[in-house]
Structure 1
Amino acid sequence: MSDSNEHELPFKTPKQLIVAIVASFVVPVFIIILLANYVSTGNKPAAGSNAMTDEAIAERLKPVGSVEFLDANAPKVLKTGQEVYTGACAACHGAGAAGAPKFGDKGQWGPRLSQGFDTLWKHAVEGIRAMPAKGGNPDLDDVEVGRAVAYMANEAGANFKAPEPAAPAAAPAADGAAAPAVPAAK
């Protein structure tokens, strides 16, 4: 038979065995103490943290949404060109989807700008090729669409004036004389 040392222990001396036994008890106890300390101090904000300020707590507790009741008889407040662009136009014109000229790209907008503001406005209101009428938002007023067209065109180098809403019909004056008519701006 061969004289092999297959069953030899890793400890050569009793001192090594004692050190290994003590370490096998001390190391886990030390780890448990560190974990308990970590868990018990985990819910305290760190130095300089503002997680527990009144503002941060109020922000976390605020409602996700709200319900607003609008007066159907109140006059409509028209959006600015930038608001309309952000809400309806940016989805396609921001990325250039479906052949839409990218916002601010003078090379893509150049041929369109040469058609003039009225033509661009008409195309935006009625729709053209892949672009739906009013950018897919039928609730938009024609003036709002015109403002969005002017906003996008001006960012591409044009100098279009945004349209203003038509003035409401004036009520007759108290003395019976008619009020002067105000021409509608386009």
Structure 2
Amino acid sequence: MSDAHNEQQSAIKTPKQLIAAVVGFFLVTVIGIILLVQFVTAQKLTGAGTDSQSAEAIDERLSPVANAGYTFKDASGPKVLQSGEAIYTSTCVACHGAGVAGAPKFGDAGAWSARIAQGYETIVKHAIEGLRAMPAKGGNPDLDDVEVARAVVYIANASGAKFKEPEVPAPAAPADGAAPAAEPAAAPAK
């Protein structure tokens, strides 16, 4: 048998070639690291907070939180009553839109027919005081009774009722010694 198939074939045949290969490997590795460091540090990087001392950033930090999209309303001013649709979309739709906790869905005449049969006064009373899973005033204590009644009319009429929009009560008479309130301007003649 021949020993030719047991001989190793290698590109490095002498110790001089081995030293050159090892030095070449380390040289390529060092050059690669240097190029990588150059690439990473070539552009100036800015981290979070580097512009924290600019006038705009300081003004933004010092501005009141209330300026971030909040609207102030005058608590001492007269209350502006909302429409039934506005009350429905802001308060009632959470339960009556999807039928949550047994609430009759908006526009579902079958679910509302028994309630409508009880009459306007009963439905408004239940809406204001609450009934079963429904909290008083739909969970919004800021609502006026007239606003709740408007929402009831809006929801019930969408389900087949023919309720009339409630009228706004006249403002209370001024206290003794106070100047009478200004009369509302007369509507222009047509």
Both structures adopt the same fold (TM-score exceeding 0.5): yes
Cα distance change on mapping 1:77 and 1:103 into 2, 3 Å: same
The partner residue of 2:74 within 71, 77, 85 is 71
- Alignment-derived partner of residue 182 in structure 1: none
Residues 1:105 and 2:117 aligned together: no
Q: Supply the distance in 1 between the matched residues of 2:130 and 2:172 (Cα, whole angstroms).
A: 29
- Alignment-derived partner of residue 30 in structure 1: none
Cα root mean square deviation, aligned:
2.2
Q: Supply the distance in 2 between the matched residues of 1:156 and 1:65 (Cα, whole angstroms).
A: 40
What percent identity do the matched residue pairs reach? 62
Q: Supply the distance in 1 between the matched residues of 2:72 and 2:152 (Cα, whole angstroms).
A: 30
Cα offset, 1:72, TM superposition: 2.1
TM-score of the aligned structures, taking structure 2 as reference length: 0.55
Structure 2: 5+ residue stretches without partners: 1-66, 184-190
Q: Supply the distance in 1 between the matched residues of 2:154 and 2:141 (Cα, whole angstroms).
A: 19
Instruction: Count matched residues.
Output: 111
Residues 1:165 and 2:154 aligned together: no
The partner residue of 2:151 within 144, 148, 152 is 148
Q: How does 1:1-186 map to 2 (within 5 A)?
A: 65-170=68-173
Cα offset, 1:165, TM superposition: 1.8
Q: Supply the distance in 2 between the matched residues of 1:140 and 1:71 (Cα, whole angstroms).
A: 16
Counterpart of 2:154 in 1: which secondary structure? Answer: helix
- Structure 1 runs (4+) greater than 4 angstroms displaced: none
Q: Supply the distance in 2 between the matched residues of 1:150 and 1:65 (Cα, whole angstroms).
A: 36
- One-letter code of the match for 1:107? G
Counterpart of 1:165 in 2: which secondary structure? Answer: coil
1:53-94 superposed Cα distances (whole Å, 9 cap, x missing partner): xxxxxxxxxxx9523232222110011000110111101101
Cα offset, 1:171, TM superposition: 5.4
Structure 1: 5+ residue stretches without partners: 1-63, 180-186
Larger gyration radius, structure 1 or structure 2: 2
